[in-house]
Amino acid sequence: MMTFWKGFLINLQFFTAVPINLTLPMDQVHLKKAVQAFPLLGLFQGFVYVAIFYVCQQMTSFSHLAVAFLLWLATILLTGGIHLDGWMDASDAYFSYQDREKRLEIMKDPRTGAFGVLSVLVLISCRFLFIYESTMNVTVSTYIFIVVIPFFSKAVMGVMLLTVKSAKQEGLGSMFQRAATPRALWPYPFYIIIVFFMIVMIDPDFLLIGMLSLVAAGCLIVFRRKAITWFGGISGDVLGASVEGMELILWMTVWLLHYFVIE
């Protein structure tokens, strides 16, 4: 249990802005536990977002615009922008329309190009729109959506990490990948079952979450193929881009559900 807890803390150190002032072991055992805790990291993020949203929505006189903005801002600040950095680097590489080797070189370049800047502006602008309109009529489902979106995105990140070959033998993605095999993903189905059981107990519209999970599964299939086709495999930047892309698509799905399904 202590090893698993340290793995979770490793995730907080690497993938969030939460200050963890500890020297944690970075050996194979602890990195494997970190990968197994990816979905729990997503749940942690989701509960932080829900807490911020609930407090601002229920306990302040802020306008809906201000509440949506604070939730949107939290999705950026809590992660420290690490996944947005991957999104920008992957965008620069993809829109260069070069071969795989050149794209990998571009992702290693610390400078951000025009395509990276434009793509992140589109990403965060669309996310704000989806958050703003999806939270206009708050229901129990709204809170659940906020929690499960990062849960699904981190689960997809873990699956991609251990089921897609590495595009390069260096970097953050490769370091985590060397620590585990696809067999290490065995806790993921249990996480999903437990989360769905809890949702069924508290929300009569749990089928909407089922729709969200199907979208996440479809994105996983597409992302795995595109990572191989475009970049020859995964890297830290590709994984970061997949997290941001997944969350954007899930927020878009919630936005569409509010228009056409949720009354």
Q: What is the pLDDT of residues 203-258, one digit of tens each?
A: 766 778 888 999 999 999 999 999 999 998 888 899 999 999 999 999 999 999 88
Q: What is the pLDDT of residues 91-112, one digit of tens each?
A: 999 888 888 888 888 888 778 8
114-121: long-range contacts, CB 8 A cutoff, minimum separation 24: 115/91, 116/87, 116/88, 116/89, 116/91, 116/92, 117/88, 118/91, 119/87, 119/88, 119/91, 119/95, 120/84, 120/87, 120/88, 120/91
Residue of 245, 158, 145, 244 whose CA lies nearest to 195: 145
Kindly state whether residue 36 falls inside one of the protein's structural domains: yes
Q: What is the average per-residue pLDDT within 34-38?
A: 94
Q: What is the pLDDT of residues 162-171, one digit of tens each?
A: 999 888 777 6
Q: Which two tokens stand for residue 92?
A: 């620069």
The total domain count for the chain is 1
Looking at the chain, the number of H-run helices and the number of E-run strands are: 12, 0
Range of the domain at 123: 26-260
Q: Do 216 and 243 touch, CB atoms closer than 8 A?
A: no
For residue 12, report the phi and psi dihedrals to the nearest 5 degrees.
Answer: -60, -40
Sequence-separated (6 or more) residues with CB below 8 Å from residue 89: 106, 107, 109, 112, 116, 237, 240, 241
Q: What is the average per-residue pLDDT within 109-119?
A: 87
Q: Do 236 and 88 touch, CB atoms closer than 8 A?
A: no
Kindly state whether residue 40 falls inside one of the protein's structural domains: yes
Kindly state whether residue 189 falls inside one of the protein's structural domains: yes
Amino acid at 8: F
Q: Which two tokens stand for residue 252?
A: 């878009």
How far, in Å, CA of 140 to CA of 138, rounded? 7
CA 106 to chain CA centroid, nearest Å: 23
The residue ranking higher by pLDDT, 38 or 137, is 38
pLDDT above 70: residue 143: yes
Kindly state whether residue 9 falls inside one of the protein's structural domains: no
Q: What is the pLDDT of residues 76-94, one digit of tens each?
A: 999 998 999 999 999 999 8
Kindly state whether residue 5 falls inside one of the protein's structural domains: no
Kindly state whether residue 4 falls inside one of the protein's structural domains: no
Buried b (16+ CB within 10 A) or exposed e, 212-241: bbebbeebbeebbeebbeebbbbbbbbbbb
Kindly state whether residue 17 falls inside one of the protein's structural domains: no
Kindly state whether residue 2 falls inside one of the protein's structural domains: no
Q: Do 79 and 45 touch, CB atoms closer than 8 A?
A: yes
